[in-house]
């Protein structure tokens, strides 16, 4: 684990980072239906619940290079925003390109001791996550939610933005079709994809050391994910100790799920 040291000893030039962060944004739009609107809604929720606090402490789990963290920090400049991920390259890009984010923590969400790795000096006021909590299997996700329930102050909020497919097959098919049609209308299908972005990154000499560290750090692929619906996530959250949980926004399968501690 490294706290606030993403890129230390392996710095990334801010101009180079900016170019690759822009490519990351375009690449991610290929996958996330109404990505910018979903981010906006997520930050709206956090601002509504904790924006009045003097120095809210907010964690972004599975932050990648800080797309969501940066939007939170821009909207709530008085907040302490902690970006959390296991990928050294993405953390280094974010640290170089998003200076408003307070801290960058390199750890694997859910492994023993991961909460201690965050180096928190007080309870969290909010936790956000975007397209990261669909990977852990249900039993591991329940442990993560319990860890977070014990770390969030009473009245705090958890906000999860992801593609959460309905449990009923016919509704799932419709939700996915709506998302595909929206992407076609927006013309994002021709953007650089995930594999192309990483293949291009491997050709950048300045990234070599970070990519080598990435190979050592990343756990084995966890496949397509847990496949849980919003309702199933909400049930796990309530079981973990959250008092209320449910969706507040949805476009096709693209959802924002909120839980209150």
Q: What is the pLDDT of residue 102?
A: 97
Cα–Cα dist 255/171, whole Å: 14
Q: Are 84 and 59 in contact (CB under 8 A)?
A: yes
Q: Are 256 and 42 in contact (CB under 8 A)?
A: yes
Cα–Cα dist 254/235, whole Å: 19
Cα–Cα dist 2/6, whole Å: 7
Q: What is the pLDDT of residue 6?
A: 47
Cα–Cα dist 15/64, whole Å: 18
In a 10 Å sphere around its CB, with 0-12 CB exposed, 13-18 middle and 19+ buried, how is residue 92 labelled?
Answer: buried
Q: What is the pLDDT of residue 32?
A: 83
Q: Are 45 and 160 in contact (CB under 8 A)?
A: no
Q: Which of 60, 62, 84 is nearest to 71 (CA)?
A: 60
Q: pLDDT tens string for the chain (261 positions)?
A: 555 644 444 789 999 999 999 999 999 988 888 899 999 999 999 999 999 999 999 999 999 999 999 999 999 999 999 999 999 999 999 999 999 999 999 999 999 999 999 999 999 999 999 999 999 999 999 999 999 999 999 999 999 999 998 888 888 888 888 877 877 777 666 678 999 999 999 999 999 999 999 998 876 655 568 889 999 999 999 999 999 999 999 998 899 999 999
Cα–Cα dist 118/65, whole Å: 17
Q: Are 97 and 18 in contact (CB under 8 A)?
A: yes
In eight-state DSSP terms, residue 193 is -
Q: Pairing state of beta strands 152-163 and 254-260? A: antiparallel
Q: What is the pLDDT of residue 7?
A: 44
Q: Which of 169, 192, 191 is nearest to 253 (CA)?
A: 169
| Phi (first) and psi of residue 258, to 5 degrees | -120, 140
Cα–Cα dist 258/233, whole Å: 10
Q: What is the pLDDT of residue 4?
A: 62
Q: What is the pLDDT of residue 188?
A: 65
CA distances from 222 to 129, 141, 164, 227 (A): 18, 13, 17, 12
Q: What is the pLDDT of residue 123?
A: 98
């Amino acid at each position: 684990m490294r706290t606030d040291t993403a890129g230390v000893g392996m710095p990334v030039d801010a101009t180079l980072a900016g170019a690759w962060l822009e490519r990351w944004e375009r690449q991610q739009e290929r996958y996330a239906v109404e990505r910018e609107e979903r981010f906006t809604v997520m930050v709206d929720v956090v601002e509504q619940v904790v924006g009045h606090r003097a120095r809210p402490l907010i964690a972004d789990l599975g932050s990648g290079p800080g797309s969501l963290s940066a939007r939170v920090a821009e909207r709530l400049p008085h907040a302490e925003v902690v970006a959390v991920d296991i990928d050294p390259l993405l953390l280094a890009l974010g640290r170089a390109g998003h200076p408003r984010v307070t801290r960058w923590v390199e750890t694997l969400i859910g492994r023993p001791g991961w909460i201690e790795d965050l180096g928190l000096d007080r309870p969290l006021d909010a936790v956000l996550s975007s397209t990261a909590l669909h990977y852990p299997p249900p039993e591991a996700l329940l442990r993560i939610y319990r860890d977070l329930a014990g770390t969030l102050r009473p009245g705090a909020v958890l906000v999860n933005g992801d593609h959460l497919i309905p449990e009923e097959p016919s509704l799932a098919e419709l939700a996915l079709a709506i998302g595909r049609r929206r992407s076609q209308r927006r013309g994002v299908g021709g953007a650089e994809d995930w594999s192309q972005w990483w293949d291009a990154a491997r050709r950048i000499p300045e990234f070599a050391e970070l990519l080598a560290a990435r190979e050592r750090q990343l756990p084995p692929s966890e496949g397509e994910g847990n496949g849980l619906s919003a309702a199933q996530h909400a049930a796990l959250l309530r079981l973990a100790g959250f008092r209320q949980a449910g969706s507040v926004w949805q476009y096709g399968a693209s959802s924002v799920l909120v839980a209150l501690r």
